[in-house]
Amino acid sequence: MSIIRNFDKKLRSVGLRPTRQRLDICEVLFDRKETFHFTIDDLRKILKTKLHTKISIATIYNTINSFKHKGYIKEISLNSEKTYFDTNVTNHHHFYNETTNELIDFHDSDVEQLKLRKNLPGKKIKSIEVLVKVANK
Amino acid sequence: MSIIRNFDKKLRSVGLRPTRQRLDICEVLFDRKETFHFTIDDLRKILKTKLHTKISIATIYNTINSFKHKGYIKEISLNSEKTYFDTNVTNHHHFYNETTNELIDFHDSDVEQLKLRKNLPGKKIKSIEVLVKVANK
DNA sequence: AAGCACTTTAGAATCGTTCTAATATATTGA
DNA sequence: TCAATATATTAGAACGATTCTAAAGTGCTT
Ligand SMILES: [Mn+2]
Ligand SMILES: [Mn+2]
Ligand SMILES: [Zn+2]
Ligand SMILES: [Zn+2]
């Protein structure tokens, strides 16, 4: 299957061996149209119930940390209750719905160009990200 | 001293008894010109070394959680490593310097008015906050 | 001052995450 | 191909931040 092939290549390209565990996790994370926002527990449940695959919790953490270091996913800061990861590693903005706990990306086209008025001598901007919290009316 | 009087009032006004522990914590948090961004551990160290006051860690957590619920401080989401609190409870933006770990507020005047292009039918906007990560050049 | 409510406290418990070290699997190259 | 070597997985222990428990202390009301 070409997806598996692709994940195989993807993993090898950053020096990770394509083990069953890593391929299974790739399938959950990347075999989808939309950006995926998830917690370790979300991932663990999906692996168990949808993929019927058993991966130890240590390996799930190891793999997610490797993927993060390799730039396949990034961590996002929403609140201190849960640690979220995001398969969209670009610099982008989020809507967080506090009623439903849904987290969705929004794109540059959804917001007017953010312009800083402040000068930052001797500093380099690494990222500019907006978090919009909403609730159902 | 009028500051103490003020903290006394401040606490009473939301139904908290002005105990020594709460007054000491108020002094660290609010007896300053600038917004204070801190972790529980920062606070604990300041109480010990600057104020020479001993407060149990359970009380520090209890008090900070009370203050948060009463709207005296808010929690801010920077990263998943540490939990930060902020004495500026208004909706505002931050610069985080990854080199020095400094976190500073920036004000509406430092950024052009943020305009969302997206319509959000049935939703109410609770907050819009920007996090700018910078590093020293 | 007595009585009651609230607060503080030490230490235990909890929970997410990382570590350890034994076992298993993948890769290399003779 | 198949041993040797490197890397990965795993269960369970350890860790660290935070919360809980329940006993002792303090503040408020009358
Ligand atoms: Mn991490
Ligand atoms: Mn909290
Ligand atoms: Zn995203
Ligand atoms: Zn702030």
In this complex, is the C-beta atom of B78 within 8 Å of any C-beta atom belonging to chain A?
yes
Q: Which candidate, B64, B78, B84, places its Cα nearest to that of B129?
A: B78
Summarised one tens digit per residue, pLDDT across range A77-98 is 998 889 999 999 999 999 999 9
Report how far ligand 3's centroid is from the alpha carbon of A118 (Å): 26
Hey, where are the domains in chain B?
A: 2-83, 90-134
In this complex, which residue's CA is closest to the C1' atom of nucleotide C20? A58
Summarised one tens digit per residue, pLDDT across range A5-37 is 689 999 999 999 999 999 999 999 999 999 999
Tokens of A136: 């159902």
In this complex, is the C-beta atom of A83 within 8 Å of any C-beta atom belonging to chain B?
yes
Report how far ligand 2's centroid is from the alpha carbon of B65 (Å): 7
CA A94 from centre of chain: 12
A2-83 sits in which CATH class? mainly alpha
Summarised one tens digit per residue, pLDDT across range B8-63 is 999 999 999 999 999 999 999 999 999 999 999 999 999 999 999 999 999 999 99
Q: Which pTM does this prediction carry?
A: 0.90
Q: How far apart are CA B11 and CA B9, in angstroms?
A: 5
In this complex, is the C-beta atom of A41 within 8 Å of any C-beta atom belonging to chain B?
no
Q: How many CB pairs under 8 A join A and B?
A: 109
